[in-house]
């Protein structure tokens, strides 16, 4: 049952016939883990908490820095030097006190990844390095969990839903089906080196949150077995199939 005050909070999405009370109840029962509370993790967690996802875990070991603030919109100037996961939890609790928000001030490692992911139904990857991305992908494959992937560089972003359960009971493509092996050192520059437009992770993060809401509620077509690239310079998308 959705308590009476919550009906007003979520009324504008519950009014959509294809979403309805059933969609809201599915969100309320969902447990979602956001790994990385940076440019992608901020908008993703804001939208999921606002939408009424019952439990949201936020993993980040980093501290807020001045160079984060042009794109990491959960944080304010006075938060510089504070742990991102804890500041994010505090801000998100004020956004929606009905949600259970868990701050995990840690880095996913080979030792802890299975334990951290174990308690959640759905995982979102918004980390900033390939080591973490391959570790999270492989852990989701091992645990048979769906992974919503987002990544950004300069003016472009990628979005995909990996390892999603298919109608025939098998699992869909995962990150290694696109890029089988991690790049070597210096083969791909990160955001600190290559740069990123501040608004871009907002767009890609909103797309990730949309995929999460679709996956949880069963509404629409998940971006499974495909990877989408969005270009902020011309608003064009380019979608390729992963076989």
Partner 1 sequence: MQVYFFGQLTDITRDAQVEIAAVADTESLLALLKHQFPALAAAKFVIAVDKTIVRENTALSNHSQVALLPPFSGG
Residue 104 interacting with partner 1 (CB under 8 A): no
> Which one, 168 or 187, has the nearer CB to partner 1?
187
Query: Which residue stretch of 19-27, 78-86, 128-136, 138-146 sits at the interface with partner 1 (rule: CB under 8 A)?
Result: 128-136
Residue 133 interacting with partner 1 (CB under 8 A): yes
Using CA atoms, how far residue 47 sits from 56, 151, 154, 187, 195, in Å, is 11, 17, 23, 33, 25
> Which one, 11 or 237, has the nearer CB to partner 1?
237
- Binders in 152-211 for partner 1, by CB under 8 A: 152-154, 156-158, 178-179, 183-184, 187-191, 194, 196, 201
User: What is the per-residue DSSP string for 64-105?
Assistant: --GGGTTT-TT--GGGTTSBHHHHHHHHHHHH-TTSEEEEE-
User: In which residue are the tokens 């390095």 written?
Assistant: 129
Question: By the 8 A CB rule, do 151 and 133 touch?
Answer: yes
3-state secondary structure of 216: helix
Question: By the 8 A CB rule, do 97 and 50 touch?
Answer: no
Query: Which residue stretch of 7-15, 78-86, 109-117, 121-129 sits at the interface with partner 1 (rule: CB under 8 A)?
Result: 121-129
The rounded distance, in Å, linking the Cα atoms of 23 and 193 is 41
Query: How many positions of this chain bind partner 1 (CB under 8 A)?
Result: 41
- Binders in 5-64 for partner 1, by CB under 8 A: 36, 38-41
Using CB under 8 A as the criterion, which residues of the chain lie in contact with partner 1 when the complex forms?
A: 36, 38-41, 125-130, 133, 150-154, 156-158, 178-179, 183-184, 187-191, 194, 196, 201, 227, 229, 231, 238-243
């Amino acid at each position: 049952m959705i308590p009476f005050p919550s009906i007003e909070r979520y009324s504008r999405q519950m009014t959509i016939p294809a979403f309805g009370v059933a969609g809201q109840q599915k969100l309320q029962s969902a447990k979602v883990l956001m790994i990385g509370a940076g440019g992608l993790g901020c908008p993703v967690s804001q939208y999921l908490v606002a939408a009424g996802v019952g439990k949201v875990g936020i993993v980040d070991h980093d501290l807020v820095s001045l160079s984060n603030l042009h794109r990491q919109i959960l944080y304010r100037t006075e938060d510089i030097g504070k742990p991102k996961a804890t500041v994010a939890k505090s801000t998100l609790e004020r956004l929606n006190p009905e949600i259970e928000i868990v701050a995990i001030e840690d880095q996913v490692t080979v030792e802890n990844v299975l334990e951290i992911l174990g308690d959640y139904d759905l995982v979102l990857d918004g980390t900033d390095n390939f080591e973490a991305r391959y570790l999270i992908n492989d852990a989701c494959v091992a645990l048979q969990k769906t992974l919503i992937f987002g990544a950004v560089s300069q003016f472009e972003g990628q979005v995909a839903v990996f390892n999603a359960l298919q109608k025939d009971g098998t699992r869909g493509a995962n990150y290694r089906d696109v890029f089988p092996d991690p790049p070597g050192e210096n083969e791909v520059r990160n955001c600190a080196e290559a740069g990123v437009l501040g608004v871009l992770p907002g767009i890609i993060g909103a797309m990730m949150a949309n995929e999460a809401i679709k996956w949880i509620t069963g509404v629409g077509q998940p971006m499974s077995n495909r990877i989408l690239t969005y270009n902020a310079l011309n608003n064009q998308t380019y979608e390729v199939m992963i076989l």
